[in-house]
């Protein structure tokens, strides 16, 4: 299904200020500015998430704001302009949990895609690291209502929402990070 001009948040060009029309593209109709030839696309918003594995536990945050307030998730958020996903994940981990990690110590554990009823969509790059590679004390910060470690048993017994990830992805990361930790000792 194509994105139509009626779903646009604005009716004018963000580049030159002229009124938008619509033009047909290979993806369907898109908002178009005939004055500066700008075609507007509604692309997914990029996110980066990171978590810390400590033995058989994983660090999660309780969302404190937005549509998922009260749900538990991997620490993370929007990727800033000029920022790589790995750097964004490390920054978000620190902002939301007080725990710091070098971006080089993050392992990509998977990706995720979210699509909401309002047409907004997001893609997420999900990372993890061993507690041994981090510093700091766990404390909820930024937009997190709480931050704590969840055990494997808790994840299985009462699975958190984990937006843009899944419990199975997190459990696989716990196993992978645990194997890496065990083989380096």
- pLDDT of 183 reads 44
Phi-psi region of 37 (alpha: psi -120 to 50; beta: other; left: phi over 0): left
Kindly state whether residues 16 and 54 are assigned to the same domain.
Answer: no
Kindly state whether residues 33 and 79 are assigned to the same domain.
Answer: no
Kindly state whether residues 110 and 125 are assigned to the same domain.
Answer: yes
Kindly state whether residues 145 and 164 are assigned to the same domain.
Answer: yes
The predicted model scores a pTM of: 0.77
- pLDDT of 180 reads 56
Residues contacting residue 182 through CB under 8 Å, at least 6 positions apart = none
Kindly state whether residues 74 and 153 are assigned to the same domain.
Answer: yes
**Three-state DSSP state, 80:** coil
Kindly state whether residues 22 and 89 are assigned to the same domain.
Answer: no
Kindly state whether residues 59 and 102 are assigned to the same domain.
Answer: yes
Chunked mean pLDDT (size 10), the chain, 185 residues: 42 87 88 91 88 93 86 92 96 97 94 73 90 96 92 91 78 80 47
d(CA 4, CA 39): 12
For residues 132 and 124, is the Cβ–Cβ distance under 8 A? no
In the chain, the number of structural domains is: 2
Kindly state whether residues 70 and 140 are assigned to the same domain.
Answer: yes
Report the CATH number at residue 108.
3.90.79.10
Kindly state whether residues 98 and 147 are assigned to the same domain.
Answer: yes
Residues contacting residue 94 through CB under 8 Å, at least 6 positions apart = 100, 101, 136
Kindly state whether residues 24 and 105 are assigned to the same domain.
Answer: no
- pLDDT of 157 reads 92
Domain of 52 in residue numbering reads as 45-184
- pLDDT of 9 reads 55
Residues contacting residue 113 through CB under 8 Å, at least 6 positions apart = 44, 121, 122, 123, 124, 164
Kindly state whether residues 61 and 128 are assigned to the same domain.
Answer: yes
Kindly state whether residues 76 and 164 are assigned to the same domain.
Answer: yes
- pLDDT of 111 reads 84
- pLDDT of 57 reads 94
């Amino acid at each position: 299904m194509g994105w139509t001009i009626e779903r646009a948040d604005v009716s004018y060009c963000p580049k030159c200020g002229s009124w938008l029309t619509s033009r047909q593209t290979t993806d369907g109709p898109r908002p178009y500015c005939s004055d500066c030839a700008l075609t507007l696309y509604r692309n997914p918003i990029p996110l980066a998430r990171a978590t810390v594995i400590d033995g058989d536990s994983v660090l999660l945050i309780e969302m404190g704001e937005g549509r998922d307030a009260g749900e538990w998730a991997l620490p993370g958020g929007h990727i800033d302009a000029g920022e790589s996903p790995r750097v964004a994940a490390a920054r978000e981990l620190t902002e939301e949990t007080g725990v710091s990690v070098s971006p080089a110590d993050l392992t990509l554990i998977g990706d995720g895609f979210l699509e909401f009823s309002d047409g907004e969509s997001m893609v997420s790059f999900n990372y993890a690291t061993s507690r041994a590679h981090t510093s700091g004390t766990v404390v909820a910060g930024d937009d997190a209502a709480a931050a704590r470690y969840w055990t494997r048993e808790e994840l299985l017994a009462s699975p958190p929402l984990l937006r843009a990830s899944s419990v199975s992805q997190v459990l696989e990361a716990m196993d992978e990070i645990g194997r890496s930790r065990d083989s380096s000792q």
